[in-house]
Amino acid sequence: MIHVQQLTKHYADLRRGKLVALDGISFDARPGEIYGLLGPNGAGKTTALRIISTVLRPTGGSVTVAGADVLTQPSQVRRQIGFMSANTGVYDRMTAWEIVEYFGRLHGLDDETLKGRMEHLFQRLQMNEIRDLLGAKMSTGMKQKVSIARALVHDPPVLIFDEATSGLDVLVARALLKTVAELREQGKCVLFSTHIMREAEKLCDRLAIVHRGRILAEGGLDELRDRHDQRDLEELFFQLISQHDEREQALTAAATGDER
C-alpha cells in the first residue's frame, strides 16, 4: 500500500551545509497492519511522513501510495490518505462539526454519505458534546479528536499518524490508540510514528527504528527481539542507536586519521 524506496531528503542549512534529513530509507506498509516508525526526536520521521502525504517533495528515491507516485501524482495520493499530526491545527473560528464537514466536502463526499459518516464518527469518538464548540475554545484533547475525525471522514485506505499522542493526557492517548487499533481491524494501512516505546510495543505489527535519517533495523516486533537477542524494546532501541553512533564516531575518527 505504501512503498518507500531509497527515499532521501536534503535541506540547505546555513550552519551545517547540506543537511541530510533522510538518507535512503526503504520500507513497505501493507493493508491491515500498523507500521511503526520509532525514533528519537529529529530522526527524520516527520520529514518522511510529510513526504508521503505530499506536503514536502523528496530529493531522491520514490514513494508510491496505493500505486500513485507522490512526486508526479500528488493529488491522487492525497485522495487515498488521512493525515494527522501533533502539529496539525484546528481552525479557531470554526466549530468541530464545520471543520470535519469542510474536509469531507473537499474530499468530494456527497451530502448523504457525508452526513452518515459524520454522525458515525462523532458517535464513535464521543464528540457530540463539542459539536458546536469553536476551535479556539477546545482543549488539546478535543482538538485531537477533531483532527482524527477530520482525517477519517472520507474513509481513506491509508492513514498516517505523526506523533499523534504527543501532548495528550493518558486517557485521551489511550482512546486514540484504541481508535488506531480499530482501524487495523477495518483493514486500513496505518503508518504510525512515535518516540514512545510503549506505544510501539502495544500497537505496531512491524516497525522500523529510525535514527539520523536511516533505518537501523526493520521487521516484526518478535523478529527484531530474536535477531538482536533483546526482549526489552527500550533496551533494544538504545543498543541499536549507541552501536550506530559508535560506528559513526569510529568512521569519522578513521577519516580524520587518514587525512593526517
112 belongs to the binding site for another protein (CB under 8 A): no
144 belongs to the binding site for another protein (CB under 8 A): no
C-beta separation of 8 from 164 below 8 A: no
- Which one of residues 42, 106, 128, 232 is an interface residue with another protein (CB under 8 A)? 106
Instruction: Report 38-77 residues binding another protein (CB under 8 A).
Output: 50, 53-57, 71-76
Containing 88, the helix (H) or strand (E) segment is none
Task: Work out how close the CB of 128 gets to another protein at its nearest, in angstroms, rounded to a whole number.
Answer: 22
The stretch near another protein (CB under 8 A) out of 13-21, 124-132, 201-209, 218-226 is 13-21
Instruction: State the DSSP string of 195-222.
Output: S-HHHHHHH-SEEEEEETTEEEEEEEHH
Alpha carbon 154 to chain centroid, angstroms: 18
257 belongs to the binding site for another protein (CB under 8 A): no
260 belongs to the binding site for another protein (CB under 8 A): no
C-alpha atoms less than 13 angstroms from C-alpha of 66 in its C-beta half-sphere: 19
176 belongs to the binding site for another protein (CB under 8 A): no
Instruction: Tell me whether residue 29 or residue 151 sits nearer to another protein (CB atom).
Output: 151
Under DSSP, is residue 243 helix (H, G, I), strand (E, B) or coil? helix
Instruction: State the DSSP string of 135-177.
Output: GGG--HHHHHHHHHHHHHTT--SEEEEESTTTT--HHHHHHHH
C-beta separation of 237 from 209 below 8 A: yes
Instruction: Tell me whether residue 91 or residue 238 sits nearer to another protein (CB atom).
Output: 91
140 belongs to the binding site for another protein (CB under 8 A): no
- Which one of residues 107, 120, 202, 228 is an interface residue with another protein (CB under 8 A)? 107
Comparing CA positions, the residue from 89, 88, 69 lying closest to residue 78 is: 69
120 belongs to the binding site for another protein (CB under 8 A): no
Task: Work out how close the CB of 183 gets to another protein at its nearest, in angstroms, rounded to a whole number.
Answer: 17
Instruction: Tell me whether residue 50 or residue 206 sits nearer to another protein (CB atom).
Output: 50
Task: Work out how close the CB of 189 gets to another protein at its nearest, in angstroms, rounded to a whole number.
Answer: 16
**Cα dihedral 175→179→182→183 (10° resolution):** -160
Instruction: Tell me whether residue 102 or residue 201 sits nearer to another protein (CB atom).
Output: 102
**What are the φ/ψ torsions at residue 21 (nearest 5 degrees)?**
-85, -35
The one-character DSSP state at 22 is: E
- Which one of residues 83, 97, 192, 237 is an interface residue with another protein (CB under 8 A)? 83
Instruction: Tell me whether residue 103 or residue 237 sits nearer to another protein (CB atom).
Output: 103
Comparing CA positions, the residue from 11, 2, 4, 9 lying closest to residue 62 is: 4
Instruction: Tell me whether residue 63 or residue 236 sits nearer to another protein (CB atom).
Output: 63
**Which residues contact another protein (rule: CB under 8 A)?**
12-15, 17-18, 50, 53-57, 71-76, 78-79, 81, 83, 85, 87-94, 102-103, 105-108, 147, 150
